Amino acid sequence: MQPTFLLIGDGRVSTHFGRYFRLLGLRFQSWSRKEDLSTLAKRAEASSHILCLISDPAIEPFLSSNGLLFSNQILVHASGSLVTPLAHGAHPLMTFVDTQPYDMETYTLETYTSIPFVLEKGGPGFENLLPGLPNPHFEIDPRLKPLYHALCVMSGNFTVLLWQKVFSEFENTLGLPREALFPYLQRVTQNLRVDAEQALTGPLARGDHKAIAGHLRALGADPFAEVYRAFVKTVESRPDLSESLSPHTGGPK
């Protein structure tokens, strides 16, 4: 039997899932809290799968208080860190932003089908949770979800904060266009994909203490000076890199 999905929420992930499901030709309806509960009850009854795509802290309270509206449907949430007996986790390993209508066209079927889903080991298989989706999928021990999600946040969200800072300083302090950074950004990403272990360059890789001290002086009281110091400390604690930052290191590598 063809599945019918109900997407709960009208935020970023729900909007993208709706677009993806439309491109795949899957049957789905949506509901958000702007509508009444009787509509939710009707749509839930007509669904085989309910995807609770709302903010993490709201997932358990929402499922507990509306549990009576759901009977035999398969309940799924998309949180990367939450583990709950009320729904199965299927985390799309991707960043979804509020998308301008003109940018929506860049989200093609190929874009969406390439997104990996990370499931909880011991739960139902991907084809049971999200039937009809051809995406790659993986399973992890549910106890490792907070660590898994911390790693996703550090890699995807923290780098966004760094790049936002750099774009803003280029434009506002240095009088340089942010576009000047795009080839650099592109190459950093490419190098990480090709050989992550060789991707680090610059004073931390070379053990250039003089340059590092100069950078910290230039950053002064900027809160990002603490971020810089934290990275220096992290590199010092990494056995594969600590040599480069040790005070006894000779010339640049």
Binding site for ligand NAP (CB under 6 A): 9-14, 32-33, 53-56, 58, 62, 77-80, 91-92, 94-96
Q: Which of 128, 117, 169, 122 is nearest to 13 (CA)?
A: 117
Closest approach, Cβ 14 to ligand NAP, in A, equals 6
Query: Which phi-psi region, left, alpha or beta, contains residue 202 (left: φ > 0; alpha: ψ -120 to 50)?
Result: left
Q: How far is the CB of 61 from ligand NAP (least distance, A)?
A: 6
Residue 26 or 51: the one with the smaller Cβ distance to ligand NAP is: 51
Q: How far is the CB of 189 from ligand NAP (least distance, A)?
A: 18
Q: Which is nearer to ligand NAP, 54 or 235 (CB)?
A: 54
In the complex, residue closest to ligand NAP by CB: 11
Give backbone dihedrals phi and psi of 115, rounded to 5 degrees, phi first.
Answer: -75, 120
Count Cα neighbours of 145 within 13 Å in the Cβ-side half-sphere: 20
Instruction: Output DSSP code: residue 7.
Output: E
CB of 153 or CB of 180, closer to ligand NAP: 153
Provide the minimum distance between the beta carbon of 251 and ligand NAP in the complex, in angstroms, as a whole number: 44
Q: Return d(Cα 98, Cα 104) in angstroms, integer.
A: 10
Distances (CA, A) of 138 to 69, 115, 119, 144: 30, 11, 6, 13
Which residues 6+ apart lie within 8 Å of 168 measured at CB? none
Within 8 A by CB and 6+ apart from 76, the residues are 49, 50, 51, 52, 87, 88, 89, 90, 129, 130
Min CB(105)–ligand NAP separation in Å: 19
Smallest separation (angstroms) from ligand NAP to the CB of 147: 16
Measure the CA–CA gap between 249 and 253, rounded to whole angstroms.
10
Q: How far apart are CA 166 and CA 187, in angstroms?
A: 16
Identity of the residue, 149 or 178, whose beta carbon is nearer to ligand NAP in the bound complex: 149
Nearer to ligand NAP, 17 or 212 (CB): 17
- Of 82 and 212, CB closest to ligand NAP: 82
